Structure 1
Amino acid sequence: MRFSRALVCAAGLLLLRDQANAASFDCAKAETAVEKAICADPSLSAADEKLAAVYRQTLAAAPADIRPELVQNQRNWLVYVHRYCKPVKGAPPGGVSSCLGDKYKERLGSLPQSLRTVGTATVYQVQRFDVATEAGTDGADDTGTMEFTMDQVAGTRPQDKQVNAYIRILAKFPTIETQAAKPGRLAEPSEEIVNTYRLIAYTDHVAEIQVDTWDYGHGAAHGMSDNANRFFLAQEGKELTADRVFAAAKPWRAFLAKRCYDGLVEQGIIGPDNKVFTGTAADLEPMVAQPTHWEFDSDGLSVAFATYEVAPYSAGEPAVTIPWNDLRPYLIKDTPILELARVPPQTPP
């Protein structure tokens, strides 16, 4: 079995011990634990070859000017996996193979998303990864990870450039890039962090970016996730605010709060057993009035709440959807949200 000639060659990464063999890894010369694990496990070998095929397809479909970024992504991932899955003190037997299997499965699921279409735009991902390890107090190594993914639009229109710049600022990409240049600076040994900035809807006038963060501190009962949506007016170069959606003269805050309160009660989220939120509908107004809680689609407006915001951890991130017909009396006439959600514009009553 060869170590994915396409992956190693196309990514330009010398993961192997001998540079002369980097483009054609001979398992007879495997020396590192990662190399030996891949050579010894038929399922890992098959996953490696499958990933190489998916990578080739993705690269072939990409516009020429963004291929270098996709190559860089794969190079970053290969280095990350090689560092993360190497043997560490205190790891159980078979840990390298198990680690590689998990990471290959994750990558096979995520790689097709690195190039996709959103609206009429071609969107690609920028990815950075890091691993940090330190000796634990129990004698075993403590290894933490950081996985960062940020969408960009493959376009040259002014609004495309505006959206790309906004996402980079939102993701603090200059800082991420500086830290990623030095292994071990982006990650923390005691944490596993995943940050994703995903463009989920895009028109000529407005972009919707979903910001997902997940953080697990080693030793904690569970990880913590936080999801928020940002809306960017591409041609105006600024974030969308509530006054570009709802009419100031209408009691839209109270309307949203009441509908969300009733919806959460109906779902069993708010009730006598909920010790996290014990307030009234009026207490929800500051939350539901924030665009970061909103997501628009053809069904209407979904108002989502973060973990622990209105319910215990077991409830996840509850959401309430309000149909367009109920929203229209509160909308301004020219709100760009209707275009984003692909809802026919109508004059609100």
Structure 2
Amino acid sequence: MHYKKFLLSISFLCFLFSCNKELKTTFLDTNITTANNKLVEINVPKAAGNEQIASQINSEINKTIIAVLQIGDQDAIVFQTVEESITAFNNEYNAFNKDFPDVSQPWEAQVDGELMHQSPEVISIAITSYVNTGGAHGITHISFLNFDATTGKRIENSHLIKNKDAFKSVAQSYFKDAITEEDILFEPDTFQLPANIGFNEEGIILLYNTYEIAPYSTGIIEFTIPIEKVSDYLTFNGS
């Protein structure tokens, strides 16, 4: 009887181990391009492991890249793959160059991805893009993508935080240390959380892109709050 119980315990532990192993997501550095691409450079992590989890993570990464390469109305995106978007970006430039041959500056797009944090609970990925379509300067934009590590589903900011008021109070104090009053476009009493919130190895990182709350000259504003300062207010503690 004891022997059977021992075997059952071993079998259960093996089952748990195999499940955890199956759900473990790894990331490979990948470069995405096309045969005639001359303007776009893309280097992003690609999820591997459990097929369903990896597929959902990769789909969200690809959607972000496709949006970066979209010329014009973001609501008019029709491309299904990153490769289609790369081709379209090159074609748009070729058409522009044909109409305005005296404009010598070529377009360019650079997209880089980074795995910021991975825990049994949450995965955070940063997508940094630089796009210049012939203007006075290009635009750098960073997007944080957070995923439930057990399902691969995207976690919206509203689901990262379970006590928004308390979290905002802590975040505001760190925000004040990160900027000067003249930098911001809203007053301290109208403080708002940024569009980008994610996890890194030091805690939870908040990032305001260019133009989000300050003029272009200010650039990107970011700061990190140690996880122990806000863990009680978060749905995922990031550990």
Q: TM-score, normalised by structure 1?
A: 0.46
Matches within 5 A, 1:280-299: 280-285=187-192, 287-288=193-194, 290=195, 293-299=196-202
Aligned counterpart in structure 2 of residue 196 of structure 1, from 112, 116, 125: 112
- In structure 1, distance between residues paired with 2:223 and 2:211: 16
Displacement of 1:249: 7.3
Question: Structure 1 residue 300: deviation in Å?
Answer: 2.1
Q: Contact between 1:146 and 1:187, CA under 8 Å: does it hold in 2?
A: no
- Using the TM superposition, give the Cα deviation of residue 226 of structure 1 relative to its aligned residue in structure 2, in angstroms: 0.7
Counterpart in 2 of 1:263?
177
Aligned to 1:159: 53
Distance 1:182 1:317 in 2: 28
Letter in 1 for 2:233: Y
- The share of aligned pairs that are identical, in percent, is 19
Structure number with the bigger relative contact order (C-alpha 8 A, sep ≥ 6) is: 2
Q: Secondary structure at the match of 2:238?
A: helix
Change (3 A) 1:168 1:124: same
SS at match of 1:238: coil
- Residues 159 and 219 of structure 1: is their aligned pair in 2 closer, same or farther, counting only changes over 3 Å? closer
- 2 CA distance for matches of 1:154 and 1:147? 22
How far off is 1:191 after superposition?
2.0
The offset of 1:179, in angstroms, is 5.0
CA contact (8 A) 1:126 1:150 kept: yes
> 1:124 is matched with which residue?
29
Gaps of 5+ in 2: 1-23, 67-78, 98-105
Q: What letter matches 1:338 in structure 2?
A: G
Q: How far did residue 306 of structure 1 move?
A: 0.9
CA distance in 1, matches of 2:121, 2:201: 17
Are 1:171 and 2:65 counterparts? yes
Give per-residue Cα distances to partners, 1:12-42, cap 9 Å, x unaligned.
xxxxxxxxxxxxxxxxxxxxxxxxxxxxxxx
What's the offset of the Cα at 1:149? 3.0
Moved over 4 A (4+): 179-183, 186-190
Cα distance in 1 between the residues matched to 2:130 and 2:164: 38
The 5 A counterparts of 1:246-261 are 246-248=161-163, 251-256=166-171, 258-261=172-175
CA RMSD of aligned residues (A): 3.2
Higher Rg of the two aligned structures: 1
Aligned letter for 1:166? E
Tell me, in whole angstroms, the C-alpha distance in 1 between the residues paired with 2:221 and 2:89: 37
Cα shift at 1:243: 4.7
Report the equivalent of 2:3. none
Q: Secondary structure at the match of 1:253?
A: helix
Q: Report the Cα distance in structure 2 between the residues aligned to 1:297 and 1:219, rounded to whole angstroms.
A: 33
CA distance in 2, matches of 1:177, 1:303: 31
TM-fit CA distance, 1:212: 1.3
Equivalent position of 1:214 in the other structure: 130
Distance (Å, rounded) in 1 between the aligned partners of 2:109 and 2:143: 16
Shift of 1:186: 6.7
Cα pair 2:52 2:152 within 8 Å, conserved: no
TM-fit CA distance, 1:187: 4.9
| TM-superposition CA deviations, 1:22-63 (whole Å, max 9, x none) | xxxxxxxxxxxxxxxxxxxxxxxxxxxxxxxxxxxxxxxxxx
Q: For residue 303 of structure 1, report the CA deviation from its aligned partner.
A: 1.4
Correspondence for 2:186:
279
CA 262–319 in structure 1, closer or farther in 2 if over 3 Å, else same: same
Out of 212, 217, 227, the residue aligned to residue 314 of structure 1 is: 217
Q: What is the aligned partner in structure 2 of residue 22 from structure 1?
A: none
- Preserved contact between residue 124 and residue 200 of structure 2 (Cα < 8 Å): no
CA contact (8 A) 2:122 2:149 kept: yes
The whole-number CA distance in structure 1 between the counterparts of 2:148 and 2:228 is 24
Contact kept, 8 Å, 1:171 with 1:197, in 2: the verdict is no
- Structure 1 unmatched runs, 5+: 1-118, 132-144, 340-349
Whole-Å separation in 2 of the counterparts to 1:263 and 1:127: 39
CA change 1:261–1:150 in 2 (3 A) is closer
The Cα of 1:319 is off from its aligned counterpart by 1.5
